[in-house]
Structure 1
Amino acid sequence: MSEPPPARYRTTNWPSYNASLRKRGSLLIWVDKDMTLHAPRDGRPGRPAAFSDAAMQFCLSTKILFKLPLRQTAEMVASLLKLAGLDWSVPDFSTLCRRQKALAAQVPHRRADGPLNLRVDSPVLPDLLGQIPGDEQIATVTADGAYDTRRCHKALIARDAVPIIPIRKNGRLWKDDCPAARARNETLRATRYYGRAFRKRWTGYHARSRIEAKMRCLKAFGERIAASDPDRQTAEIHIRIALMNRFSALGTAEIIRVARQ
């Protein structure tokens, strides 16, 4: 029996999306002329910081975007400011290195109304849930079969979240000793009755591919983290995500599935 033809998709906003892709090549989209360059005085004793957190994030974003060492980053930032017609001072490489350790990077994002629908690819799930405020409602959490564990299911039930996690192919019924085990066993029975493929489509599991695509985008800035200590690594990851969101804010594709003939 021949295989069905592959699905076809069409981008409905190609002119605007094409323009947004062109804008991503502009160097000046990263320069905010309204940015506060110098740090405000906070009243604490000691020498105040010369540059604001926004200025630090701008410089470190340039470093990550162009995969530069810190010394070359300072020169690249100076060139960008000159191109933008701004006579601003630029922090040296040692200042950039020192400030990255304590930098609280600002990540722009758009928040939809309603509870969260999380899609997880690689982090430790219970620890990730612990970072979300307790009063934040979580509707669903979609993850792959690696998260089909008691610890993950208990963490989700504790947050009143619906797990969309496929049962492992060799999965068996758990001992019916807690709400998480009972909910997971019901999922296993439904999977056995309807089949894995149907249940994945019914629960919307395949939407998890979006987070996999975003992880590939994240790795486009480099497979390895350049920073060597956890605090600087955290700042680097946050800046990468901020860069990705800035690209998305310029415009994204609107895609629909084309009916097969």
Structure 2
Amino acid sequence: MPFKYNASRRHKFSKSRCRVTNWTEYNESLRRRADITVWFDESVEHQWGVGPTGKRGRPCRYSDFAITVTLQIRTVFHLALRQVQGFVRSLFKLMQLELAVPDFSTLSRRTSRLAPLPREGSKAFGPLDLVVDSTGLKVFGTGDWQETKHGKTQQRRSWRKLHLGLDLETGQIACSELTTDDIGDPSAVPGLLDQIDEPVHRFLADGAYDGAATRTEIMRRFAYVEIIIPPPKTAVAGPEAETAPTARDLDVLAIKAHGRMAWQKSSGYNKRARVETLMGRWKSVIGERLRSRTLDNQRTESRIGVSVLNKMTSLARPTFERIS
């Protein structure tokens, strides 16, 4: 983390103060995050059902759009499957729409084979500044309170690892991947980069992504990309560092000559803290626990969470200015 090397004397530094310059607009966007018209409007009537497909057999009663909208409402308002069915049914009644609502078993069954949600193209001007990180999400098992109370770790707890890629300029989640907890961070990089259609100008990640395989994969996909990954303390420059140094060799030499904190400031690595904020936002808005039981359903659940956060971000973002 940035500035962790000054943790012992952090109290001697004055903390910078900032203020939000678009508070009126941003405050209204926070209200609209729970506005049901943001997530559900009259246009759903024309996309709720499935028309003739020309294939043999009876078509599905509900479109993928209907399942997606219902699951988004479930995620935003933290409802169980039966509760979201009743919630959407009441909305149809208020809107005087004669539409059927997917029951809880249909939602659970269709979640596993729901098509990946289309991602909107980046609204940034020019290549992306992509920062990647991962965090753990609980699946099942007793909570932390039970562990504290009884003083032992529960054996049945299971975790999933959520990998996210953040576009620094727009604040949108550009790519995401949910894996089992035994998948290392570098192994998830190819799957994340498969979801990026725009060129990438800078790729930021923490030291867990350091390695030749990760750098080679990134440079293979993007011709002109600056990779900002801190090498470990024990890293040494390669044998050709004096004649033909690689980008990693230059980082190792810069840290050795000027110190790690100077390298963090000069390289822009401190901006990686933005993805840590994204992880905290995910766990406060979406939650730190997955509700689905199977991995396929959990992956769809994580994609729904990504679409919810991106839609909230599109309503408005705060802009800051430093005052001290």
**Fold match (TM-score > 0.5):** yes
Once the two structures are TM-superposed, the CA of residue 86 in structure 1 deviates from its matched residue by 3.3
User: Among residues 92, 99, 111, which one is paired with 1:100 in the alignment?
Assistant: 111
Partner residue in 1 for 2:38: 29
**Identity over aligned pairs, percent:** 34
With over 3 angstroms needed to count, the CA separation of the structure-2 counterparts of 1:23 and 1:98, relative to structure 1, is same
1:119 aligns with 2:131: yes
Letter matched to residue 19 of structure 2: R
Partner residue in 2 for 1:255: 320
Aligned pair count reads: 257
Q: Secondary structure at the match of 2:91?
A: helix
Please tell me whether the aligned partners of residues 34 and 76 of structure 2 are also in contact (alpha carbons under 8 angstroms). Answer: no
Once the two structures are TM-superposed, the CA of residue 142 in structure 1 deviates from its matched residue by 0.2
Mean CA deviation greater in 53-62 or 22-31:
22-31
With over 3 angstroms needed to count, the CA separation of the structure-2 counterparts of 1:67 and 1:247, relative to structure 1, is same
Letter matched to residue 150 of structure 1: A
Partner residue in 2 for 1:162: 226
Once the two structures are superposed, residues 67-109 of structure 1 have per-residue CA deviations (whole angstroms, 9 ceiling, x without a partner) of 3222222112112333444342211111111111111234456
Partner residue in 1 for 2:51: 40
Kindly indicate whether structure 1 or structure 2 has the higher relative contact order, using CA contacts under 8 Å at least 6 residues apart: 1
With over 3 angstroms needed to count, the CA separation of the structure-2 counterparts of 1:176 and 1:78, relative to structure 1, is farther
Once the two structures are TM-superposed, the CA of residue 245 in structure 1 deviates from its matched residue by 1.3
Mean CA deviation greater in 125-134 or 165-174:
125-134
Question: Using the alignment, how far apart are the partners of 1:113 and 1:84 within structure 2?
Answer: 40
Whose strand proportion is higher, 1 or 2? 2
Once the two structures are superposed, residues 137-174 of structure 1 have per-residue CA deviations (whole angstroms, 9 ceiling, x without a partner) of 22211001111222222222323332111122232334
User: Among residues 53, 56, 81, which one is paired with 1:70 in the alignment?
Assistant: 81
Q: Secondary structure at the match of 2:68?
A: helix
Stretches of structure 1 that go unaligned for 5 or more consecutive residues are: none
Stretches of structure 2 that go unaligned for 5 or more consecutive residues are: 1-8, 135-162, 164-184
User: Among residues 190, 196, 208, which one is paired with 2:260 in the alignment?
Assistant: 196
1:17 aligns with 2:26: yes
TM-score by length of 2: 0.72
Aligned Cα RMSD in Å?
A: 2.5
Question: Using the alignment, how far apart are the partners of 1:201 and 1:84 within structure 2?
Answer: 54
Question: Using the alignment, how far apart are the partners of 2:95 and 2:88 within structure 1?
Answer: 11
Q: Secondary structure at the match of 2:202?
A: strand
Q: Secondary structure at the match of 1:120?
A: strand
